[in-house]
Amino acid sequence: MADDEKKGDDSKRVVNTYPLIRHSDMSDETQNEAAEIVTTACEKFAANNEEAAKMIKLQMDKKFGPPYNVVVGEAYGFEISYEIGNVCYLFFGGNIAAVIWK
């Protein structure tokens, strides 16, 4: 039983490196693209959330047109007004939450 649990934990840790979309009203295509960008940015700047956010913002601006806002962090609260169809709130890597909106 204990072994099984351990295995489960391990697999959980491994599994946690994918982006988990919590809330989004983007089109599927945009959403996937955004998730990909977040993945790349957060992997590249694992230790620097600010840089990661910057990168996500720039990439999103480039691909879908400015102005995008990006928040990347571990613990925060927010209330935003966004243009409909342009919000994505997702978790990544088991401890990072990113919110992208226009």
Partner 1 sequence: MAPTVNPKTAPSQLKTKKADKGKTDDADADVEQYTRTKTLQKPKDQVELTDSQLKEIIAKTLTSINPQIPESEVEWSYAQMEFVPAPTIGHMVMVFRQEGGLLKKDSEEARQQMIEMGMDPAELDMESVEEEQIEEEEMIEEEEMKGEEVEGEGDVDEEKAEGEEDEKPPEAEKEEEAEEDVEGEEVVVKKPEKKKGGRPRKLTNLFNFCERAALTTTNPSRSQETQTIPPPMATFSAVVTTSFVYDSYMKDWCIQEAEREREKREKMGLPPKQVIKKTPQQLHEELQSRIFKSARILERMINQNTYVEIAKDYRYWDDPSDDYRVEEGTVLPLWKFEYNKTKKHTVCDLEWNPHYYDLFAVCFGYLDYSKPVGGGALCLFTLKNPSFPDYVCMTESAVICVDTHKKYPFMIVIGLYDGSVRVYNINISCKEPAYQSNSVENKHRGIVWEVKWAEDLTDGELNFFSVGGDGKVNNWVLMQGGLAVTTIIELHLDQAPVAGPDGTTLKVKASICCIKLHPVNPEIYLIGTEEGSIYKCSVAYSSTYLMKYEAHQMPVCQIDYNKFNTDIFISCSMDWRIKIWEDNRLEPLFVFDIGDRVGDVKWAPYSSTVFACVTSDGKIYVYDLNVNKYKPICVQAIVSKKKNKTTKLAFNYNLPIVVIGDDKGCSSVVKLSPNLRIPCKAPKKQQDLDQNTLQLMKLDKLLAVLREPSTLILPEDTAEKDDD
What is the contact surface with partner 1 in residues (CB under 8 A)? 12, 15-16, 20, 22-23, 73-84, 87, 89, 91, 94-97, 99, 101
Nearer to partner 1, 28 or 83 (CB): 83
Taking the C-alpha atoms of residue 32 and residue 40, their distance in angstroms, rounded to an integer, is 12
Nearer to partner 1, 58 or 96 (CB): 96
Taking the C-alpha atoms of residue 37 and residue 60, their distance in angstroms, rounded to an integer, is 8
Nearer to partner 1, 29 or 79 (CB): 79
Strand partners for 73? 97
Answer yes or no: are the C-beta atoms of 45 and 55 closer than 8 Å: yes
Please state the closest distance from residue 90 (CB atom) to partner 1, in A. Answer: 10
Nearer to partner 1, 64 or 82 (CB): 82
Please state the closest distance from residue 61 (CB atom) to partner 1, in A. Answer: 17
Total Cβ atoms within 10 A of residue 89:
17
Contacts of 62 (CB under 8 A, 6+ apart): none
Please state the closest distance from residue 83 (CB atom) to partner 1, in A. Answer: 5
